[in-house]
Amino acid sequence: MEKTSNQKEKITRGALGKFLLLVIFLVGAVCLLRLTPIKDFVTPESLSRVLDAAGLWAPVVFILLETVAISLFVPASIPIILGAGLFGAGWGFFCGWLGALGGASVAFFVGRTLGRGFVASIIGDRLKKYDDGIERNGFTAVLYLRLLNSPFTPMNYGLSLTKVHFWDYFFGTGLGVMVSIFVITFLSGTLKEVWVSGNWENLLAFEVIFAVILFVFSCFIPMILKRVKRESNSN
């Protein structure tokens, strides 16, 4: 009995140590980007110069930079808007989406490796019920949260601390953020073209109107999914 108790204490201490590393990593990332000269590099102007210098490799470099930036708590909208301005709406959407998936995946593995053990050791029976629920319905839960446009990077780390399976998280994220990234890239890309050309009538272009309608519709998707699920359960 004493051996089992000591083993549990040892596991808890190890989990606590990893969790403290996660906290240090996240706080350090925020401080690095807010309080050091690196913050002057993470701007649309400086990133544009780096991508211009990359030439044909610019899309690959952009995806890698967005992956790193998102995992370090840079708001996802910054590189996504930059991508739309550099590559246009189509390629900007594709590169922004891949970069967002990359950043979400890195954040998930960091959070899962360093923080899950500690959370699992302190979680109570009441919260365990929800933890088990998100494990069973991981894809639906992640998709629902992404469609609600919850803060992207904090949600990456928050979900990594739950029992959700990676592939449920990956595909739920990939599908759930497509609408918001599409809207951001098409609107920002069109606004840049309008600003440069001066053709303000382009603001009424089909792509812009479609993006706005899609964004408004996306706000109702979680309610639609919830209603469909409720009706299927009742049947």
pLDDT > 80? residue 190: no
Q: What is residue 10's predicted lDDT score, i.e. its pLDDT?
A: 47
pLDDT tens track for 178-187: 888 888 887 7
Cα separation of 185 and 191, whole Å? Answer: 10
Q: Which of 101, 83, 103, 102 is nearest to 93 (CA)?
A: 83
Q: How many contiguous H segments (helices) and E segments (strands) does the chain have?
A: 11, 0
Directed axis angle between helix 152-160 and helix 138-147, to 10°?
Answer: 160
Confidence of residue 143 (pLDDT cuts 50, 70, 90): confident
Mean pLDDT (whole number) for 82-108 = 88
Q: What is residue 116's predicted lDDT score, i.e. its pLDDT?
A: 81
Directed axis angle between helix 58-71 and helix 77-122, to 10°?
Answer: 40
Confidence of residue 7 (pLDDT cuts 50, 70, 90): very low
Cα separation of 188 and 204, whole Å? Answer: 14
Higher pLDDT, 175 or 9: 175
Q: What is residue 96's predicted lDDT score, i.e. its pLDDT?
A: 92
C-alpha distances out from residue 174 to 81, 164, 170, 187, Å: 18, 15, 6, 20
Higher pLDDT, 143 or 40: 143
| 198 DSSP assignment | -
In which region does residue 73 sit, left (phi positive, over 0), alpha (psi from -120 to 50) or beta (all else)? left
Cα separation of 173 and 214, whole Å? Answer: 18
Q: Which pair of tokens denotes residue 131? A: 């933890």
pLDDT tens track for 38-93: 666 666 677 777 777 878 888 898 999 899 888 888 888 888 888 887 887 788 88
Cα separation of 216 and 234, whole Å? Answer: 29
In which region does residue 74 sit, left (phi positive, over 0), alpha (psi from -120 to 50) or beta (all else)? beta
C-alpha distances out from residue 111 to 38, 107, 124, Å: 23, 6, 20
Q: Are 74 and 33 in contact (CB under 8 A)?
A: yes
